Amino acid sequence: MEQQGVTGPKPRPLTGNILEISAMVSQSASKDCDSIHHDIVGRLLPHYVAWSKQYGKRFIVWNGTDPRLCLTETELIKELLMKHNGVSGRSWLQQQGTKNFIGRGLLMANGQDWHHQRHLAAPAFTGERLKGYARHMVECTSKLVERLRKEVGEGANEVEIGEEMHKLTADIISRTKFGSSFEKGKELFNHLTVLQRRCAQATRHLCFPGSRFLPSKYNREIKSLKKEVERLLIEIIQSRRDCAEMGRSSTHGDDLLGLLLNEMDIDKNNNNNNNNLQLIMDECKTFFFAGHETTALLLTWTTMLLADNPTWQEKVREEVREVFGRNGLPSVDQLSKLTSLSKVINESLRLYPPATLLPRMAFEDLKLGDLTIPKGLSIWIPVLAIHHSEELWGKDANQFNPERFGGRPFASGRHFIPFAAGPRNCIGQQFALMEAKIILATLISKFNFTISKNYRHAPIVVLTLKPKYGVQVILKPLVS
């Protein structure tokens, strides 16, 4: 790459630039923000800020002995994601980093495995199927509203909204995709949350050869958590199988778990062992995680932004009441009329994208614009930096301004990529957006929320972009 004019910080033997990155991130994220502001790229990606100034829009960073091309040129990103989907994907290092967390599910699959798994899961996210899920979303959200009303009473009380959103989205994904409930799967979600954190910590050492085989504290705990998660998943899967075998159903159902088990039976009859129990469990873990974690974070950050911007909060509330009435429940057919809410959600995804980085690896030599990408090179797309770029979004790039998603068009797939882009975009994108609109429309019509004095603004990255201490808001029930 140096021959093409692409350079970067000098790597150290074995560790590359990891120690420098770790030191910079530790220092920049060690203190909480002084106030609520959205200029967070320097806090979370200080190495990107420093090296992009020194080396330009493209530079090479070494993750141990693995070189990574940092790419921010949006035309080249679009070309990579749209045109080269078949010959790029997840790297071995990425797969190892998530092996014990979500395994080889759709999120980490490549090539024909990815095509097969995407085709298998796609029917669970079709338009009519999505409409059917809306009922569960409304029911689960209504139960949350009832509980919160009882808890806060007539006064104004503090609620950690992040925890509530995680419970709610976990309940919804359990009911819509796995025919279960959050209460039944609470233990599973708790283990997955800890497993996510431990895998993120262990990933830092993956660049060191043999590190994953060491009997370290993290590796021992990860092994134990993985075993417990899979035990719980087997119980859920076996319960579904028992229902079919006892004649209660001719198939395993038409939700995601049912589709996976039906396909497994077909493959078994065809003597095809590609879809074994491990793959089913990996797929379940993938959708349990992706189906509630990212949406919960979207809802948490959006609630924080609305609580901090009362003018927009009232604007969205008036829109919701105009569309659904003062006491009406959200109707999926009318969600498209919530244009102000859609702008707010997009602006939340721009400022606080759950996935701050989008990694890819070239499986063969690629041509991207004037660049030749050699086989085996990892490409690092800093989504957070692109979403906060003044060059792309204007001088107010670090300010909350939902109107930027109003009149003038924005470049989805280049400038705005919270769900990635191209054939490998997020399969659950429409599910997540529908869920977010239903939940936010319901909550904003029932409560006024303001930021609690106890809220400390401290975004951090643990695989996804999270509020370090949660988001504390003051809820005040509205009079119908």
Mean pLDDT taken over the chain: 87
One-letter amino acid at 377 equals: L
User: Which residue has 């086989």 as its token pair?
Assistant: 375
Helix (H) or strand (E) holding 54: helix 46-55
Which is more confident, 448 or 192? Answer: 448
One-letter amino acid at 350 equals: R
**The two three-digit tokens of residue 139, written as one number:** 């029911």
Contact 285, 177 (CB under 8 A): no
Task: Count how many domains the chain has.
Answer: 1
Q: In residues, how long is the chain? A: 480
Contact 338, 437 (CB under 8 A): yes
CB count in 10 Å sphere of residue 228:
16
Confidence of residue 287 (pLDDT cuts 50, 70, 90): confident
Cα(77)–Cα(366) distance, integer angstroms: 13
235-276 pLDDT, tens digit per residue, is: 888 888 877 777 656 667 778 888 888 877 776 655 554 457
Judged by average pLDDT, the poorest of 106-110, 253-257, 410-414 is 410-414
Contact 285, 102 (CB under 8 A): yes
Q: Is residue 446 over pLDDT 50?
A: yes
Which residues, in sequence order, are CB contacts of 349 under 8 Å at separation 6+? 298, 416, 418
% of the chain beyond a pLDDT of 70 = 89
Q: The CATH number of the domain where 57 resides is what?
A: 1.10.630.10
Backbone angles phi, psi at 410, to 5 degrees: -115, 155
Give the mean pLDDT of 125-149.
Answer: 92
Q: What is the pTM assigned to this prediction?
A: 0.91
Backbone angles phi, psi at 436, to 5 degrees: -60, -40
Contact 140, 171 (CB under 8 A): yes
Contact 457, 35 (CB under 8 A): yes
Judged by average pLDDT, the poorest of 97-101, 244-248, 319-323 is 244-248
Question: Which residue range is the domain that position 473 belongs to?
Answer: 2-477
